[in-house]
């Protein structure tokens, strides 16, 4: 740190960025946070590396939802240069975060798509690590199996091999010695079954209590996946949950997902009252009844959603629930698609775009007319319209009229009044067919 004081501001801040990453690898969390505040990751590195760093901090701080959001943003801001590194880092964080929520299915999809990309671009280290991790999330052998011998391997590879071979104490010791604790935290969620075996034997893990409280290690923590890009569908801990609620109840559930998607987040109830019962003198009582119905339908223990009143202000506090949504998936698929498209990887980008459009089953918030729902519907449908047009245009540029037509027709069923979509389908596609 003494050398930092002897250089000018731009170099000093760059050195702080390096030291912040080293501190993170040493598990010196507080020091990493302090250094990162004044570090300039964007002097020699694009902003996406800062976002990856912050995503790692969030993952190590037991905030998987925030980690996923930041990793998605890193992909959104990524450049063609270093795309392989960003895909590796962002997808590893996202796969780890999903595994920490007990969702191996989404982690498996991310890892498999990454493997195909690494294999095509001959990224050996990245391919090797993801190939090993793939064995933990898939019942079949890795699609790019290439496990190296334990000797003469890179530290990042040796670390995951130690965990795979049930050498947990050696793994954590090695991670500390090599300043790889940020990799260790990524690996432990994906390889959680190995860690659980260690915990069940009553042995100390050396992990913070906040990490051990995450759903992957604690079955009592509920994780809800809410699909609302069409009729609302609810899953609890990866299992379909049959629900029958009023339109306003579903609207509030989605509002809750967006505003307080992980523990310790809260919602100002005055905002809820103004949105769902404007000008009503019975808003508080109406909300109490609504909350009871939602808790009962979703089988939410009462203590996990509590109302706090202080100094005349009321808040609804999430005390231990994780929510994910198909809209999040849509945003993530788009971020990956655009990053790959910018890198000139159209084949991979097209798959991500198609996956994003596939998530829509109909018009969201169709029966909801509160102000927040109306605004969200407009925002989502505008985004869907824009991305469908951009995708169709890109398809035509690559000589692929079939997928362009298919996506435009699907989106037109959801937004039938869209003049831009009708124009794109009716004019540009016709012109393309004739040319």
Same domain, 108 and 158: yes
User: Looking at residue 8, what is its pLDDT?
Assistant: 57
**Tally of domains in the chain:** 3
The answer to whether 251 and 365 have CB atoms below 8 angstroms apart is: yes
Is residue 336 included in any domain, yes or no?
A: yes
Q: In this structure, how many other beta carbons lie within 10 angstroms of the beta carbon of residue 390?
A: 15
The answer to whether 222 and 300 have CB atoms below 8 angstroms apart is: yes
User: Looking at residue 151, what is its pLDDT?
Assistant: 56
Same domain, 56 and 146: yes
Is residue 334 included in any domain, yes or no?
A: yes
Q: In which residue are the tokens 């809260």 written? A: 266
Is residue 20 included in any domain, yes or no?
A: no
Is residue 10 included in any domain, yes or no?
A: no
**β-strand 223-227 against 322-325: which pairing, if any?**
parallel
User: Looking at residue 12, what is its pLDDT?
Assistant: 66
Domain span holding position 98: 46-212
Q: Which segments of 316-434 does DSSP mark as H helices, in order?
A: 326-342, 346-358, 371-397, 401-414, 419-423, 429-434
Same domain, 317 and 376: no
**β-strand 223-227 against 233-236: which pairing, if any?**
antiparallel
Same domain, 297 and 331: no
**Surface-to-core class of residue 116, CB atoms within 10 Å of its CB (0-12 exposed, 13-18 middle, 19+ buried):** middle
Q: Mean pLDDT of residues grouped by 10 in the chain (435 residues)?
A: 56 69 76 68 56 91 94 89 88 96 94 93 93 85 51 83 87 92 92 80 83 91 96 96 95 96 94 94 95 96 92 90 97 95 94 97 93 96 96 93 93 92 69 44
Q: What CATH number is given to the structural domain containing 109?
A: 1.25.40
């Amino acid at each position: 740190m003494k050398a930092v004081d002897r250089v000018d501001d731009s170099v000093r801040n760059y050195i702080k960025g390096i030291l912040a990453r080293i501190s993170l690898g040493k598990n010196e969390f507080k020091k990493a946070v302090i250094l990162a505040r004044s570090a300039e990751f964007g002097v020699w590195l694009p902003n996406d590396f800062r976002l990856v760093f912050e995503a790692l901090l969030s993952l190590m701080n037991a905030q998987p939802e925030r980690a996923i959001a930041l990793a998605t943003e890193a992909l959104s801001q990524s450049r063609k240069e270093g795309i392989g590194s960003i895909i590796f880092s962002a997808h590893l964080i996202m796969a780890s975060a999903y595994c920490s929520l007990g969702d191996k299915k989404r982690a498996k999809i991310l890892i498999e798509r990454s493997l195909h990309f690494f294999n095509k671009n001959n990224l050996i280290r990245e391919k090797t690590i993801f190939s090993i991790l793939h064995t933990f999330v898939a019942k079949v052998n890795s699609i790019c199996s290439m496990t190296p011998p334990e000797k003469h391997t890179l530290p990042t590879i040796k670390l995951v091999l130690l965990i795979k071979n049930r050498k947990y104490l050696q793994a954590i010791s090695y991670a500390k010695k090599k300043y790889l604790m940020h990799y260790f935290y990524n690996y432990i969620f994906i390889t959680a079954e190995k860690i659980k075996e260690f915990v069940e034997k009553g042995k100390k893990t050396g992990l913070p209590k906040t990490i051990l409280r995450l759903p992957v290690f604690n079955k009592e923590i509920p994780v809800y996946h809410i699909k609302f890009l069409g009729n609302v569908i609810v899953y609890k801990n990866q299992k379909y949950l049959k629900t029958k609620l009023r339109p306003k109840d579903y609207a509030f559930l989605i509002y809750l997902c967006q505003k307080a998607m992980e523990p310790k987040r809260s919602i100002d109830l005055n905002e809820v009252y103004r949105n769902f019962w404007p000008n009503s003198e019975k808003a508080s009582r109406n909300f109490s009844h609504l909350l009871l119905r939602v808790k009962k339908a979703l089988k939410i223990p009462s203590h996990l959603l509590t109302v706090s009143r202080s100094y005349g202000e009321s808040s609804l506090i999430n005390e231990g629930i994780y929510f994910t949504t198909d809209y999040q998936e849509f945003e993530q698929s788009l971020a990956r698609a655009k990053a790959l498209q910018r890198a000139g990887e159209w084949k991979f980008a097209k798959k991500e775009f198609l996956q994003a459009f596939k998530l829509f089953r109909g018009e969201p918030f169709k029966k909801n007319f509160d102000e927040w729902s109306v605004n969200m519907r407009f925002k989502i449908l505008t985004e869907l319209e824009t991305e469908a047009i951009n995708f169709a245009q890109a398809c035509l540029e690559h000589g692929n009229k079939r997928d362009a037509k298919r996506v435009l027709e699907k989106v037109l069923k959801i937004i039938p009044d869209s003049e831009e979509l009708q124009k794109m389908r009716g004019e540009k596609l016709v012109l393309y067919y004739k040319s």
